[in-house]
Each structure stands twice: as C-alpha cells, then as structure tokens.
Amino acid sequence: MGYKVVVVGATGNVGKEMLNILAEREFPVDEITALASRKSLGTEVSFGDKTLKTQDLDTFDFTGWDIALFAIGSDATKIYAPKAASQGCVVIDNSSLYRYDPDIPLIVPEVNADDVVRYKNKNIIANPNCSTAQMVVALKPLHDRARIKRVVVSTYQSVSGTGKEAIDELWNQTKGIYVPGQEVAPSVYPKQIAFNVIPHIDVFLDSGDTKEEWKMVVETKKILDPKIKVTATCVRVPVFVGHSEAVNIEFEDYLDWEEATDILREAPGVLVVDKREAGGYITPIECVGEYATYVSRIRQDETVENGLNIWVVSDNLRKGAALNAVQIAEVLGSRCLKKG
C-alpha cells in the first residue's frame, strides 16, 4: 500500500525536480497528481516513464490525499497550504512562509528527523532555505563532536535559486556580451549577473543584512542549535546550478582537521572530496544532479583557538529544495504515516 501524492507547482524548476526524485528514489506512490496555476493547465510533466497533465490548483480537492509537496511562492502557499492541511493532506512546503512558525517543524532529515512528529500541530512541515540546508548537513556531525560556538559563512549562490527567468538572464547576457546588438540589460537582478557577482540576495533589512542572510541565521538556530552564533554574507554568482559556501567554524572544544575529515566521511548525506592538490576539491558543475552535500578544503583556522574552515557545495535544486522535501516525505511515511 502506497501514498497518494500531490506535487504543487509541478511546472517550475523545483516542482519538476520533485517529480524526478520521487521516481528516482522509488517513493511508494499509489497515485500522483501534478498541480499548477490555471495558466499552466494541461502542461505535460514527467514522472519516471509516465507523463502527467497538470490539473488546476485552484479547484483541486485535497481530501483523501496523503502528502502534498508544495513548490510555489509564499503568497500562493498562504492560500492553498492551509486548505490542503485542513482537508487531511500533510503539506511539505518549500517556500519561506512557515519556516519561522514555532509550531511548524523545519526539517533537514540528516539533522533533526525526530522533529517530524510535530507535523501534527498544523499538518504542515517546512523545508529550509537552500543555502541553510546544505550547510547544516555538514555542520551537524561536527557539532555533535565538538559543539559549535560560531559560524561565519560566505555563499556563492547560483541563479537557479532565483528561478527560470534568472537562468535565462544569465544565458542571454552572456551571449549578448559576445554578439554586438544583442546586449541584455538587467531585469531579474539589479546589476548584470554575467561575468559578475552580486552581494545581494532577497531584500535589504534595517540591520544592513539581506533577508537571505537573516534566513541562514534563524534557520540554522531552529534546525541545529539556538545557541550557535551565525553571520552570513550571501552572494549571487554567474553559475546556473549549485550553491557553494566558504564556512568558518569556531568550536567549544578542539577538533583537528584530520578527525573532522573522518567524521564527515561517515556523516549521512555528506561526500568528502579533499585531496589537497590541483583539482582535488568539488565545484558546483560537478554536483549538478547529485544527492550529496560535498565537503572540500577541510583545514585548521589558526587565528582562533578552536577553528576550522570547510568548503560546502550542493545542487540547490536537489538537496537545497526538492531532494530535502522528498526525504522529509520518506521520514514522514516511515515514522508517522506508515503506509509504504
């Protein structure tokens, strides 16, 4: 006996990846439906070797469905997620809408899978921000060993984190630089993204931080440990898929880089690539389509008493979004719903 699963926002980048990963991981599906807005009604999407035609989200009845994976913006989620939840369908939401609600669990299965039982509070589980998800996967096993005091992270985030329009803008701007007369002015981003980096993701707050930076701080505390101090600088880079992070960690106890490497090699969801030679590290282009959170450049930081530096890379459409949502569904099924 399997699950009746709904993918909401099935025509977007993350929604398509959710369908791909459900099929790849052979999630026990008895029935699956792809939902989209009315303008995308009837659009065909793939689920394994099957083709699904999208149905209208606005008129869909969630009664009798087990799990809904939401990959739409916060405004639409605010309308449809409570509807699905009230009709008995457990919502796993990829937007930021519910992440900071104390009654709703924010889950990265490798880190805090036990919190999934709290879905019963509102029949909703939140999926974290893409940049947070991969970082806490790498931090958790190190925190268990030496207790993290402070994290300083600088991100290098791909344009797919913004969406299809941003991917098109990078592609078209890059072509336009080489073809006279085909130059493309910025529209998705405030400045040119091709051959450039932009230290601005989401809106600016009164503190001078951006909302993306704030998200990383608050979500790390909620998922991993409220005592950890976090400061972030989030930067958009001209990469299509794959987020990278330079992470500086200060621990309460001493942890040398060799033991840290051994710990990370055994950690769930982590793949260490660290040869300390030319090319002996991971870059975003190599992580595309992969499940793992990759860690490289593991080394001591001698400027603080118990410091370590690591380089963390992952496919933001997968571990940063769709994969994590499907992993949550797997934990929900095995620990709570128990149908598959």
Q: Which of 89, 130, 234, 287 is catalytic?
A: 130
- Cα atoms found within 13 Å of the Cα of residue 48, Cβ hemisphere only: 10
Can 287 be counted among the known catalytic residues?
no
Residue of 231, 256, 265, 273 whose CA lies nearest to 309 = 256
User: Is 11 known to sit in a ligand binding site?
Assistant: yes
Per-state percent for the chain, helix, strand, coil, to nearest 5: 35, 25, 40
Can 234 be counted among the known catalytic residues?
no
Q: Which amino acid is at 112?
A: N
User: Is 131 known to sit in a ligand binding site?
Assistant: no
User: Is 316 known to sit in a ligand binding site?
Assistant: yes
User: Is 14 known to sit in a ligand binding site?
Assistant: yes
User: Is 40 known to sit in a ligand binding site?
Assistant: yes
* Contact residues for 40 (Cβ-Cβ < 8 A; gap 6+): 11, 54
Q: What is the spatial distance between Cα 89 and Cα 300, in angstroms, rounded to a whole number?
A: 47
Alpha carbon 36 to its chain centroid, in Å, reads 21
Q: Give one DSSP letter per residue of 15-67, joined into a string.
A: HHHHHHHHHHTT--EEEEEEEE-GGGTT-EEEETTEEEE-EEGGG---TT--E
User: Is 318 known to sit in a ligand binding site?
Assistant: no
User: Is 157 known to sit in a ligand binding site?
Assistant: yes
Q: What is the spatial distance between Cα 321 and Cα 316, in angstroms, rounded to a whole number?
A: 6
Q: Which of 89, 143, 234, 243 is catalytic?
A: 243
Q: What is the spatial distance between Cα 228 and Cα 220, in angstroms, rounded to a whole number?
A: 8
Asked if residue 214 lies in contact with residue 255, where contact means CB atoms within 8 angstroms, the answer is no
Q: Is the dihedral of CA 268, 289, 287, 98 positive or negative?
A: negative
Asked if residue 339 lies in contact with residue 66, where contact means CB atoms within 8 angstroms, the answer is yes
Q: What is the spatial distance between Cα 34 and Cα 30, in angstroms, rounded to a whole number?
A: 14
Angle at 19 between CA 13 and CA 25, to 5 degrees: 125
User: Is 99 known to sit in a ligand binding site?
Assistant: yes
Q: Which residues line the annotated binding site for substrate?
A: 157, 236
Q: Which residues line the annotated binding site?
A: 11-14, 39-40, 99, 157, 160-161, 236, 316
Active site residues: 130, 243
Q: Which residues line the annotated binding site for phosphate?
A: 99
